[in-house]
Amino acid sequence: MARMSTAFVALAALCWGLAGGIGGMLMAEGWGPAVVSFYRGAIGLLFVLAWLLVCPGGSGLARPRLWGWSVVAGLGVAGNFFFYLTSLAEGSIAVAATLMYCAPVFVYLLSFALKLERPTPSKWVSMALVLLGILLLTGVYETGANDITLLGIVTGLLAGVSYAVFIFGFKRAAAHGSPQAILSIAFALLVIVLAWGGDTGEKAAVLTSTRWPLFATLGVLGAGLSFTLYILGLRATPPTVASIVAMVEPITAALFGVALLSQDLSGLQVLGMGLILVAVTTLGAKEGGSQRQTRWVTRPLSRWRSSGARPSNAASIRTPPRSRKPHRAARW
């Protein structure tokens, strides 16, 4: 089961990488980022609604908090889709995908600011490496750099921030309902928000265009299938493994851009990309280790405190807690 879950995460990352390439192809033909993002989200909405209809149990749709946090997730995924494609249009697929991959750094900075996470030297070093990688990848140190604009850099980073908002909202909503219900609300809000942006005539033109199969493929790979695989894969995939496997996305996007869109990367850009991937993966590994420590140590100690008993020896501290009611994820 664990291997299958890891394969699901890898396939989801592969789908996201390919979706970035397809989005780049559509925008190279003149379609706007808002239109491409709109159809990506709309087709994804059809997928998750079908998932919700097939598995309606434990949806939590009657809970107001589910709706509130799902709206936060929806705003995050809407911003992620739009800013990512805008960054891609202003630069290259590899740069846009790697900048978006910096999302965990923003999560840590927010956690430090809110005092939810304690900063450590290793975390600061990892984030410094990410910053150095961004400088090398974007080439902002070069006076005459024209490969990516300032708008491309800013929107690429905003795509990462938006993705962090989506993850934050999704995790909060997950305590109140099923993932298919959360994604249904999130994608519905995405469609509403992006329906206001872009040219209405251009959106209508997609339906009669010869490129609609490419839009459909983008929606299936970039929203419907990928999010479903990712959620299913996270059930039995440790955070450390997931953070490493997720590197498939920017690598796939970079290879797509080089092979099919004739986009080149210099040696320093490749070095910067590597620094970002290694640093972010290290942060993910530390987060996974922290979660395991909490699960094996904090919960048993809290049980002993509530009962007034004390552990008989140090080894007993590592004894996992007794089985409790199945987690909601088991019914999804």
CA distance 16 to 10: 10
DSSP 87-154: HHHHS-HHHHHHHHTTHHHHHHHHHHHTTSS---HHHHHHHHHHHHHHHHHHTTTSTT--SS-HHHHH
Q: Is the Cβ–Cβ distance between 276 and 133 less than 8 Å?
A: yes
Check pLDDT > 70 for residue 250.
yes
- Count structural domains, the chain: 1
Question: Which residue bears the tokens 């249009």?
Answer: 89
Cα 116 to chain centroid, rounded: 21
- Per the rule left: phi > 0, alpha: psi between -120 and 50, beta: everything else, 117 is beta
CA distance 161 to 191: 20
pTM here is 0.73
Distances (CA, A) of 43 to 48, 188, 190, 210, 220: 9, 10, 11, 17, 7
CA distance 194 to 72: 15
- Per-residue pLDDT, 239: 60
More confident residue, 11 or 290: 11
Check pLDDT > 60 for residue 145.
no
pLDDT tier for residue 314 given thresholds of 50, 70 and 90: very low
Q: Is the Cβ–Cβ distance between 224 and 43 less than 8 Å?
A: yes
- Per-residue pLDDT, 231: 86
Average pLDDT, integer, range 22-44: 93
CA distance 229 to 283: 23
Token digits of residue 216:
């459909």
Check pLDDT > 90 for residue 299.
no
Domain that holds residue 88: 2-331
Q: What is the pLDDT of residues 184-221, one digit of tens each?
A: 999 999 999 999 877 889 999 999 999 999 999 999 99
CA distance 81 to 190: 9
